[in-house]
Chain A
Amino acid sequence: DAGVIQSPRHEVTEMGQEVTLRCKPISGHDYLFWYRQTMMRGLELLIYFNNNVPIDDSGMPEDRFSAKMPNASFSTLKIQPSEPRDSAVYFCASSLARGVEGDTQYFGPGTRLTVL
């Protein structure tokens, strides 16, 4: 498997623009997570899905952020409108249901977002 795939790897946009980040989890994984990492706040969980259903979105900063998972192989994180303080690296991760590997999460390479 190619691992968790994220696109784009880098995104530069202007304040007020809509930004869409994409993620393809590892095939067969039941859980998908979106994280954000900044120097100030570290790595924060934004939202996670189980079998395409959002389970916990308490980490989503505000209404400008939304996430969807229309099927088991694709998820998006959208920011509309974007603001400079949204600049960060956004990671997607996936995991199997608890079992032999427990809750091990496999992270993608991340999307570095810069909002000017």
Chain B
Amino acid sequence: LAKTTQPISMDSYEGQEVNITCSHNNIATNDYITWYQQFPSQGPRFIIQGYKTKVTNEVASLFIPADRKSSTLSLPRVSLSDTAVYYCLLDTGRRALTFGSGTRLQVQP
């Protein structure tokens, strides 16, 4: 199964831009790159999904290089409320999503 690798944790300060990089060397042609966010005591929440190049929505941007072997989630001007676990997943179209251990982002004042 295609697998993703991302840092276990990251620290940042309010107002800074945070970039979380995910590696997926074995990504398949039909796979989409998807990011979820999970706050304590809540279920994961979809943030963004992309296939190639750049995708932007009201929450984040997703940068995907041409070889698609990695991707970077960019959170502009983070606030304390962005403290959460961020999961990078490959959407294979098989419906079953495989969540790794995610990246625990801690935003400090």
Contact = CB atoms under 8 A, between A and B. Distances in A.
Interface residues of A, number: 25
B43 to A, nearest CB: 3
A63 B99 CA distance: 24
B43 A91 contact: yes
Contacts of A61: none
A105 B100 contact: no
B95 A43 contact: no
Given A31-B95, A55-B95, A104-B49, A42 B101 contact: yes
A42 B95 contact: no
A44 B44 CA distance: 12
A69 B45 CA distance: 23
A48 B95 contact: yes
Interface of B: 32, 34, 41-46, 49, 87, 91, 93, 95-102
5 contacts: A33-B95, A42-B100, A45-B96, A107-B43, A107-B44
